[in-house]
Amino acid sequence: MTARPSHATGSTDVPLLETTIGADLAATVARVPDGEALVECATGRRWTYRELWDDVTAVARGLASLGLEKGDRVGIWAPNCAEWTLVQYATARLGVVLVNVNPAYRAHELGYVVGQSGMRAIVAVPELKGASFADMIEQVRPDHPHLTDVVLIGPPGGGAGPWAANSTAWEALTDAGRASDLDVGAVEATLDPGDPINIQYTSGTTGFPKGATLSHRNILNNGFAVGELLHYTADDRIAIPVPFYHCFGMVMGNLAATSHGATMVIPAPMFDPAATLRAAAQERCTSLYGVPTMFIAMLSDPSYDEHDLSALRTGIMAGSPCPVEVMKQVIDRMGAEEVSICYGMTETSPVSTQTRTDDSVERRVSTVGRVHPNLEVKVVDPLTGDVVPRGTAGELCTRGYSVMLGYWEEPAKTAEAIDADAWMHTGDLAVMDDEGYVSVTGRIKDVVIRGGENIYPREVEEFLLTHPDVLDVQVVGVPDERYGEELMAWVRLRDGVGTLTVESVREFCTGRLAHYKVPRYVHVVEEFPMTVTGKVRKVEMREESRTLLGL
């Protein structure tokens, strides 16, 4: 008997939401006006759905008072905070495209995304962990005259400080919004679910990130589908320690919550295991999100036993493969018996496959689940493009409402990723079993996943090539117990340069490259291992790196 092809179609029992994010939020507000919508644990601030709606409206009017209109791009550069969420929904209601800026970015990366997206305004915190975001914005502004407005999130009641010279304070923005009588509903009536609403930059193999452009339909439906598979209702309370600048936070977290009337709980601005445990306990959270390293950190936190997590029912682990022991502890010790594994990528809004709440532990640690509702997945031979039989490895592809509109203003790059039949090629190697469960077995490209962050070596290589002592460089991923993978740079030095230390490389990168992209190891060589045709053999380099480091 011939094996069935590796192709699966999701259930169509629940139809797609053919509406905008603002209209969906309005429907939730009408349904549960007094339900708790948002809790920010660091400040103790809380919003009901009616209060959230009023503040979102004020922010939307405030942004409109800056002259922002449908299709304009607005950046958000901040850790998880209530203002991030307000801006997410306010821009959606105006049809303004929200550009997520990673808080780990520094001036070099900020300048690129401001220019590539044609950003008109940016909302940011003035500083974070000793890095002045306000200074970096001022540094890149002269090169980008289209960046006309900067809104800085200060503490309530003022405290603007010296950084306010060329910017608007958050309070001034919301005051302007409350004084405005703009009919935001009339603006929303002109929007279409297929309109672009969000740009998320994903590291690119070309050396610079590409802007995955997502619509209302893309992310609203994906957040809704995630929530449906976790059986969310207005009684659920979701602890979201994962970053909002990723789909994990803003789609699987925020949009899954608001489309079901559930509560969004922000444990802390950045992930902190003790603060997350405290938030989950004090707020009686029913759901908890994280990449495996976050769950490991929480389970091993000295304060773990002080927290009552008895309300936990479910949650999501995603970003990298889940170790069996971790899954067992999340179920047994945390009590999150219905915890789910999700797989996807920014370009697919993000989730394509997910385990179900009644799947066995074995399924949840050995697979990334089955295809999502209203989507298709298939596994193809990377060379021929033909669908392979079940049980055979190949490239995982996905098709349906979740596939991005494209990479912002990069049609050639878009065509490389999405084929003529609208299939998104993930670059991941996968196997589909007889029941349709998918296991991701590796990556066709050389992407390194460090603690849930995708790093494309080419981007790091191109940056390190600007180092005065570096003649050539190749970056590979090496195994790491804590983060899954770490970066190792193989470096060829210029003539006359004796050596290059890890410390000097880190110093060169600090403040110019996101911390997670800075190589942990440096290995100086005369030549790289090459194929007969002159291509660098990264497979060989990875193996040799493991030996050199004793991994």
**What residue ranges define each of the domains in the chain, with the CATH number in brackets?**
49-191 (3.40.50.980), 448-549 (3.30.300.30)
Please give the pLDDT value at position 66. 97
Cα 113 to Cα 67, 168, 408: the distances in Å are 21, 21, 11
Please give the pLDDT value at position 538. 84
Hunting for tokens 């900020």 — which residue is that? 110
Q: How many CA atoms lie within 13 A of 83 on its CB side?
A: 25
- Please say whether the beta carbons of 236 and 263 come within 8 A: yes
For residue 439, the 8-state DSSP code is E
Low-confidence ranges of the chain (pLDDT < 70): 1, 155-165, 203-207, 442-443, 445, 531-535
For residue 5, the 8-state DSSP code is B
Cis ω before 373 (30° cut-off from 0)? no
Please give the pLDDT value at position 157. 46
Strands 453-455 and 448-450: antiparallel
Q: Which two tokens stand for residue 451?
A: 């603690």
Q: Which two tokens stand for residue 446?
A: 């050389």
Q: How far apart are CA 492 and CA 495, in angstroms?
A: 9
Please give the pLDDT value at position 512. 93
For residue 347, the 8-state DSSP code is G
User: What are the tens digits of pLDDT across the range 23-63?
Assistant: 999 999 999 999 999 999 999 999 999 999 999 999 999 99
Q: Which two tokens stand for residue 526?
A: 């005369």
pTM of the model as a whole: 0.85
Q: How many CA atoms lie within 13 A of 516 on its CB side?
A: 18
SS3 241: coil
Q: How far apart are CA 463 and CA 508, in angstroms?
A: 10
H-type helices in 12-147, by residue range? 21-31, 49-65, 82-94, 107-117, 133-140
Residue 478 identity: V
